Amino acid sequence: DAVDVQALVKNHLFTFDPGFMSTASCKSSITYIDGEQGILLHRGYPIAELAEHADYLEVAYLLLFGERPDKTQYQDFIKLVRNHTLVHEQISRFFHGFRRDSHPMAVMCGVSGALAAFYHDALDINNVAHRELTAIRLLAKMPTLAAMCYKYSIGQPFMFPLNKLSYAGNFLYMMFATPCEPYEVNPVLERAMDRIFILHADHEQNASTSTVRTAASSGANPFACIAAGIASLWGPAHGGANEACIKMLEQIGSVDRIPEFIARAKDKNDPFRLMGFGHRVYKNYDPRAKVMRQTCYEVLQELNIQTPLFDVAMELERIALNDPYFIEHKLYPNVDFYSGIILKAIGIPVSMFTVIFALARTVGWIAHWKEMYNQGNIKIVRPRQLYVGHEQRVFTPIDKA
Ligand code: ACO
């Protein structure tokens, strides 16, 4: 049962729960996780079934509107998203303000925040239709911005969206097409990309989603709130883990070096952790990691790639899952363990991995923002603290001390 918060406040009591280990910050009906059992449901549907039978835009509709679309609603939704894939031409100038070698997540924070400047004065967040338009705009524009980040970093011209393609296909096109050469989207890679988007779409009150909700609780511009979410996602303990994980697999290099890294992960004097392992909520196999492993296998087969990275990952997983330390600590592979191998095989550079996570998670962030406003009666997020500083002291002016 929920704690009677009003009564606690009245009695000047509050809980001390750094990291929100056991504190619910909101009510939500979007995503359900049972970490002990390894269950993840979006609006009641298991993630594995969504990844198998739906595409990202159907899942996006489900997250945003609460129910799956019928065929007409689905087609209308696709059309609506396609109408908003372009970004304002002036946005392209923002890219040119960044150093070419900037980390793409730094650029994403900047350009997504800059959208607030384009959609602010006319935006009324208390109006349901405006909120829905905001959600569509963000969903539609994120792949365009993400691909622009990549093109800018390699000095190629930005590609306009090709709206006859699917959401994932269009993203691959904007990433890899050039004005000089035609680009054919490989359907296996398109499906893999779409699955990666689905598997990252939402995950209830993780650090970045909570950040978006916290920023939004003051009534801030939603595009700026998404930029805050992107900043929070960047860290290696959160979305940055996919980048850190592939770097770790590369560092391990071959199966025979795994025991050395397992030993380091268990050594409390060594800050090293197995990246892509462990989760605050899952104390069982992350259901997203299972789909990711299968997709990884399919992509490597399609591209006929034999990579030691996959062998290292499979063996690392096998050894860790049989190791008493990992069993006792309930540490299993998470969503980021296999995603990097897929992205790398598709040809996406490591520095773009977290950008792709941000792109996919945007729908979750905006679904939570929308839910918060639809619920109404928003309380500004204002945690208390446990003060551990000085008691009141006498101030002596500096020239009298
Ligand atoms: N490798 C080795 N030991 C680990 C790992 C790991 N990856 N993760 C947790 N542990 C150990 C800790 O050392 C600690 O051990 P102790 O109790 O003996 O001191 C215990 O497990 C609990 O760890 P905490 O950090 O307290 O767990 P928390 O729930 O706060 O952290 C987190 C979860 C941040 C995901 C952690 O498991 C981690 O750092 N994993 C690696 C990074 C990663 O993959 N992040 C992606 C998460 S999924 C996502 O954001 C999409």
Mutate to test the pocket of ligand 1, among 196, 280, 325 (most ligand atoms within 8 A of CB): 280
Output the CA 45–ligand 1 centroid distance in Å. Answer: 27
Output the CA 357–ligand 1 centroid distance in Å. Answer: 19
Mutate to test the pocket of ligand 1, among 199, 262, 277 (most ligand atoms within 8 A of CB): 277
* CA dihedral sign, ordered 112, 117, 122, 126: positive
Catalytic residues, by residue number, are 279, 336
The full DSSP string for 11-43 is: TT-----GGGSS------SSEEEETTTTEEEET
Output the CA 278–ligand 1 centroid distance in Å. Answer: 5
Q: List the one residue out of 1, 9, 19 whose CA is nearest residue 280.
A: 19
Which region, left, alpha or beta, applies to residue 180 given φ > 0 means left and ψ of -120 to 50 means alpha? alpha
The pTM assigned to this predicted structure is: 0.93
Q: What is the pLDDT, as a whole number, of residue 15?
A: 87
User: Residue 1: is its pLDDT beyond 70?
Assistant: no
For residue 348, name the pLDDT band (cuts at 50, 70, 90). very high
Q: What is the pLDDT, as a whole number, of residue 215?
A: 97
For residue 274, name the pLDDT band (cuts at 50, 70, 90). very high
Q: Which residue, judged by its Cα, is nearest atom 27 of ligand 1?
A: 280
Mean pLDDT is lowest, of 3-7, 100-104, 165-169, 291-295, for: 3-7
Mean pLDDT confidence for 103-130: 94
Q: How many CB atoms lie within 10 A of CB 239?
A: 28
Mean pLDDT is lowest, of 1-15, 188-202, 286-300, 334-348, for: 1-15
CB 392 within 8 A of CB 264: no
Ligand 1 site residues (CB inside 6 A) read 237-239, 241, 265, 273-280, 329, 331, 334-336
How confident is the prediction for the chain on average, in pLDDT? 95
Output the CA 268–ligand 1 centroid distance in Å. Answer: 12
For residue 158, name the pLDDT band (cuts at 50, 70, 90). very high
pLDDT digits 0-9 by tens, 44-96: 999 999 999 999 999 999 999 999 999 999 999 999 999 999 999 999 999 99
Mutate to test the pocket of ligand 1, among 329, 336, 337 (most ligand atoms within 8 A of CB): 329
For residue 120, name the pLDDT band (cuts at 50, 70, 90). confident
Q: What is the pLDDT, as a whole number, of residue 138?
A: 98
pLDDT digits 0-9 by tens, 326-346: 999 999 999 989 999 999 999
pLDDT digits 0-9 by tens, 6-34: 787 787 788 899 999 999 999 999 999 99
User: Residue 241: is its pLDDT beyond 90?
Assistant: no
